[in-house]
Chains A and B, each alone.
Chain A
Amino acid sequence: MPEKTMRDAINEALHQAMEQDDSVFVIGEDVAGCNGSAGDVGSVGGVFGVTSGIYHRWPDRCIDTPISESAIVGAAAGAALVGMRPVAEIMFADFIGVCMDQIVNQMAKFRYMFGGKSRCPAVIRFSAGGGFSAAGQHSQAMYQVMTSFPGLKVVVPSNAYDAKGLMLSAIQDDDPVLFFEPKILYQETAEVPDEMYTIPFGQANFVREGDDVTVVAFGQMVPKAAAVIDALAEEGISCDLIDPRTTSPLDENAILESVEATGRLVIVDEAPPRCGLTADIAGLAADKAFRSLKAPIKQVCAPHSPTPFSPELEAAYLPDAEKITAAIKATLA
């Protein structure tokens, strides 16, 4: 099977969805690029290259916008309400701050407030997360915040294979989907089939299987946790590693079944702790699997602070192998 980067896997999903369904279009800042300039329009394909090549094949369905995030999301929501399948790009998840109303008060609520009579099959893509020394306004995960809004589906792929299948599911889904691409993983490769395939929402992936500890990780923390678990296997510690892949809907059963078997739970996410995914899942386990637990649940996440700029600070800020290892061992102590 061919190896592809996560960037190329998402790009391939977009091309295939557009080929198959002419109601799909992409919209955002520089998703084509070079509009109005002397350069070749379409030669940019998004600042991370995820929409590369789309303009040259479908110039009418690859739409560059001014820097206007509210209008981008709003336009995607409106087009979706009347039957299109837009895939909008918001360059950095942090810019949700600019378009929060259109996401949270508008697209998330249409179906419910309109008595189930509407569909809003829009996908909003974001690059997300830390690791680039990009500081407080270009490093946030944001998916943990958006997970708390009913009406939105929230996807966080951790590898190229999942990213393609989840993107094709997102485009076919009739509800609004927020798709968070951990930008540190864009260049990471995996085996990705050339043909179209979908991965259902709400179905976790068991990245590793083991008996001693259940580890749940999200996005860029999945490969980090996997590396830790592989190292611990040599010490005779075996762990389940669960990647929920979608935080809304969440595959609660997969997590609970694993916790019931291992009796120990470590949750790893790159976002700050308060009202985040680690607390959410710790609450779930405490509520529904309390009697299976043999040790306190451990949460590994960023501290309650913005993302710092300096590389040393950011390295200390983000969960790393050392912290994940310590948490797993703590549950076994």
Chain B
Amino acid sequence: MSIPKETLLNAYRSMKTIREFEERVNAEIMNGQIPGFTHLYTGQEANAVGVCAHLDESDTIISTHRGHGHCIAKGADVSGMMKELFGSSEGLCKGKGGSMHVADIDKGILGANGIVAGGPPISVGSALAAKIRKNGKVAVSFSGDGSVNQGTCFEAMNMAVVLQVPAIFVIENNYYSEHTSINYAVGCDDLKARTEAFGFPVFVADGADFFAVYEAAGKAIAHARAGNGPAGIFAEQGRYHGHFVGDPQAYRAAGELEDLRENHCPLKNFRKRMAETGELSAAELDAIDAEVLAEIDQSVKDAKAAARPTAEQVTEDVYIQYTATA
């Protein structure tokens, strides 16, 4: 499978942006600069980027509480996101939503979501619209290994099959839901098989490998775009941080985090592959690294300087304000 150079450059930039965004957010939370509950995506970058590389702006995604990576991969404005996390009125959601509710409807980002498995049913609606309009669009929802045990997720999967809509269910197994292992919370031994039993194909990928996710997502999305109904993507890859910033992570085995960072790194794997194939040079990738670091740094500076919301804004945007026309 040959991937256009442009796609490769964008994919690497996107993964690096997610990584640096998250690591910087982690540091700013430790400094007490970012309020609220924040869940970091570090380590899982290839999932979001491998999937979103196949989407354009009018395809939709719906994300989870761990949403920064999905939003960046789908093209959300990084500076607007950073401002949102800092609670600025210049943030993507005017400081109303914060980390768990980053959204950019114009970019097809129907929102991160603070309710586990709140997203899949909504995504089925977006897919249904695409089917009725016959516009070839797809709707992607992301779910974790914990989220898939929620009734709303089951309902969405079954209804997507019944309605034969172009819904893509991405299941990201990072092995834990908060402090509980998938070994406990998913009752059967084979989550892929359980998902396929709903009646759609599920393509499996190593979530540390952008190329594997890209390939699996390509098949799933092609299946749905061609009008064959929903499809799934099942990717395994651990997160590098706790469930939330500050999680003591008592559930980890000794050496688990070190092993993840050392041997399961989508960025390292990407660079290794490029060194082997020669498609992108180390210099090209280094240049991206430098640009991304500068962008993230600037986004934090901008976020700290950005306007703060005022009390009158509390009650704005509860409803649409209709202005009377003469």
Contacts and interface: CB of A to CB of B under 8 A. Distances in A.
A33 B184 contact: no
B309 interface: yes
B35 A29 contact: no
Contact of A132 (B37, B87, B186): B37
Interface stretch (A34-42, A80-88, A121-129, A249-257): A34-42
B87 A309 contact: yes
B96 interface: yes
B98 A309 contact: yes
Contacts of A219: none
Given A33-B251, A310-B96, A67 B256 contact: no
Contacts of B239: none
A37 B251 contact: yes
A40 B248 CA distance: 12
Given A39-B250, A311-B87, A305 B100 contact: no
Contact of B36 (A34, A36, A134): A134
A69 B152 CA distance: 11
A212 B314 CA distance: 33
Contacts of B187: 66
A325 interface: no
Instruction: Name the prevailing secondary structure of the A interface residues.
Output: loop
A34 to B, nearest CB: 5
B251 A34 contact: yes
A138 interface: yes
B4 interface: no
B130 to A, nearest CB: 26
A137 interface: yes
Interface in A304-318: 304-306, 308-313, 316-317
A57 to B, nearest CB: 18
Contacts of A97: 115
Contact of A135 (B97, B146, B314): B97
B88 interface: yes
B309 A310 contact: yes
Interface in A288-333: 303-306, 308-313, 316-317
Contacts of A313: 87, 95-96, 309, 311, 313-314
B97 A136 contact: yes
A123 to B, nearest CB: 22
Contacts of B252: 37-39
A133 B151 CA distance: 28
B179 A44 contact: yes
A319 to B, nearest CB: 12
B97 A67 contact: no
Contact of B101 (A303, A304, A309): A309
A158 interface: no
A30 B180 contact: yes
B17 interface: no
B181 A138 contact: no
Contacts of B37: 132, 134, 138
A38 B185 contact: no
A138 B185 contact: no
Given A39-B179, A305-B315, 15 more contacts: A34-B181, A35-B181, A37-B181, A37-B252, A66-B146, A66-B187, A135-B98, A135-B100, A137-B118, A305-B318, A309-B96, A310-B89, A312-B87, A313-B95, A313-B309
Interface of B: 35-37, 87-89, 93, 95-98, 100-101, 113-118, 146-147, 149-152, 176-187, 250-254, 256, 308-311, 313-315, 318
28 contacts: A29-B180, A33-B179, A34-B250, A35-B184, A36-B181, A37-B181, A37-B253, A65-B185, A66-B186, A67-B150, A67-B177, A70-B151, A94-B114, A132-B37, A133-B98, A134-B37, A134-B100, A135-B96, A135-B100, A136-B101, A138-B114, A303-B314, A306-B318, A308-B309, A309-B87, A309-B95, A313-B311, A317-B314
Interface of A: 29-30, 33-40, 43-44, 47, 64-71, 94-95, 97-98, 132-138, 303-306, 308-313, 316-317
Q: Nearest 7 pairs between A and B by C-beta?
A: A36-B184, A36-B181, A309-B98, A310-B87, A310-B95, A38-B253, A137-B114
